[in-house]
Amino acid sequence: MEVTSTFAETRGLYGGTVGLLPTLGFFHEGHLRLMGLLRERCDTLVVSLFVNPTQFNDPGDFDAYPRDIERDSELAGGAGVDILFAPSVEEVYGGVSITTVEVTGVTDEMEGRHRPGHFVGVATVVAKLFAGLRPEMAMFGRKDAQQLVVLRAMTSDLRFPIEIVEAPVVREPDGLALSSRNVRLGSTGREKALAISRGLFQASEQVDAGEGRGERLEATVGRSIRSLQVDYVKLASLKTMKPIADLSEPAVLAVAASVDGIRLIDNVMFDWIEGRPRPDRGVFLDELSTLTSLP
Ligand code: PAF
């Protein structure tokens, strides 16, 4: 595996189709599994590692974001990555850098409302990665559901000829969604955080049993996470990312809540299959060894 820091040297190493997994680094098992899934689809697998300062609306959160490039290089090498692209802030934002990318509408609610400026930072950095690295495909996780919808819109609007590949939410066997932030949870924090996935799974069971009212589903999750500091629990359309009253179209039940000051997000998407909503709870680490292709 090569570790690069400029767009030009990275492109110089390509052979065949190029797949990109953009990341903020501090890899966990979920990243490694996604690398494995993308590995099967492309000839050159590039993973970008860049803690993008412009998407952190809270400077404290940016400073506290875990970083360890040596550990990340070892893990990525073991996962079959060809190129780990770890640029400097200067490489990404140097030069004139007075252009930003703002995706409107789908960014109004949820993360967009609670993290002002966040999606401009995300869309801008991903547009720069796309323009600088020019992959044929790029993978984003369903865990960041709103980000996925924002980046699909950006890719299509700006006519990037790049296929967006969706990756499932990856969970610990007990349901906790994997996140680089989980390392900051102590064991009691981890226990408290489990209330998020538990609430989402209870709501999913209600949907399986025929419940479709947004307020009922949100109330179920709300009860489960009542001891956390909740930013939002929302049933939203996957098309508009606006809250909806009923589960009558593809939707996401999304949560953001803090546990001991550590902000976590999680969701269950409801795909529309054979005329009814099917909860996508993601994949569990103990099942993943048998997962050979994307669900
Ligand atoms: O989801 C993330 O890790 C980041 O938002 C991304 C897509 C790498 C952009 O910095």
Residue 123: count other Cβ atoms within 10 Å of its Cβ.
Answer: 24
Strands (E) in the chain, as ranges, are 2-4, 18-23, 44-49, 83-85, 137-141, 163-167, 170-171, 229-237, 251-259, 262-273, 276-280, 283-284
Q: Show the tokens assigned to 14.
A: 């390509």
Helix axes 29-39, 69-78, angle to 10 degrees: 40
Residue 144 Cβ < 6 Å to ligand 1: yes
Strands (E), 74-228: 83-85, 137-141, 163-167, 170-171
Could you please report the per-residue DSSP string of 235-266? EEETTT--B-SB--SSEEEEEEEEETTEEEEE
Q: What pLDDT score does 288 carry?
A: 53
Tens of pLDDT, residue by residue over 105-119, are 999 999 999 999 999
Consecutive H or E run containing 30: helix 29-39
What's the rounded mean pLDDT across residues 237-250?
A: 97
Residues 276 and 295: their CA atoms lie apart, in Å, by 18
d(CA 286, CA 103): 37
Distance 32 CA to ligand 1 centre (A): 15
Q: pLDDT of 9-40, one tens digit each?
A: 999 999 999 999 999 999 999 999 999 999 99
Asked if residue 291 has pLDDT above 60, the reply is: no
- Determine the distance separating the centroid of ligand 1 and the alpha carbon of 49, expressed in angstroms: 9
State whether the beta carbon of 52 lies less than 6 angstroms from ligand 1: yes
247-265: average pLDDT: 97
pLDDT, one tens digit per residue, over 188-208 is 999 999 999 999 999 999 999
User: Checking DSSP bridges between strand 83-85 and strand 251-259, what pairing results, if any?
Assistant: unpaired
C-beta of residue 182 within 8 angstroms of C-beta of residue 171: no
The 10s digit of each residue's pLDDT in 48-74 is: 999 999 999 889 989 988 899 999 999
Chain centroid to Cα 251, Å, comes to 16
Which mutation among 38, 144, 148, 265 tests ligand 1's pocket best, with the greatest number of atoms within 8 A of CB? 144
- Out of 27, 125, 129, 140, give the residue to mutate to test ligand 1, the one with the largest number of ligand atoms within 8 Å of its CB: 125
**Mean pLDDT across the chain:** 95
- For ligand 1, the distance from its centroid to the CA atom of residue 23, given in whole angstroms, is 5
CA of 205 to the centre of ligand 1 (A): 30
pLDDT band at 97 (very low <50, low <70, confident <90, very high): confident
Residue of the nearest CA to atom 2 in ligand 1?
23
Beta bridge partners of 44: 18
pTM for the complete prediction?
Answer: 0.95
Q: How many residues does the chain have?
A: 295
Active site residues: 31
Task: Give the span between the Cα atoms of 1 and 47, in whole angstroms.
Answer: 11
Ligand 1 close to Cβ of residue 23 (< 6 A): yes
pLDDT value for 16: 98
In this predicted model, what pLDDT tens digit does every residue of 110-164 receive, in sequence order? Answer: 999 999 999 999 999 999 999 999 999 999 999 999 999 999 999 999 999 999 9
Q: Residue 105 and residue 143: Cα distance in Å, rounded?
A: 20
C-alpha 276 to ligand 1 mean position (Å): 31
SS3 9: helix
| Residue 270 structure tokens | 């409801």
72 lines ligand 1 (CB under 6 A): no
Cβ of 154 less than 6 Å from ligand 1: no
Q: Going from the N-terminus, what domains does the chain have, and what CATH number goes with each?
A: 2-167 (3.40.50.620), 185-283 (3.30.1300.10)
DSSP state, 3?
E
What local confidence, expressed as pLDDT, does residue 266 receive? 98
Over its C-alpha atoms, the chain yields an Rg (Å, rounded) of 19
Residue 272 has pLDDT above 60, yes or no: yes
Is residue 22 lining ligand 1, measured as CB closer than 6 Å? yes
Q: How confident is the model at residue 292 (pLDDT cuts 50, 70, 90)?
A: very low
Nearest CA-CA partner of 253 in 171, 196, 292, 168:
196
The pLDDT score that the predictor gives to residue 57 is 86
State if residue 180 touches ligand 1 by the CB under 6 angstroms criterion: no
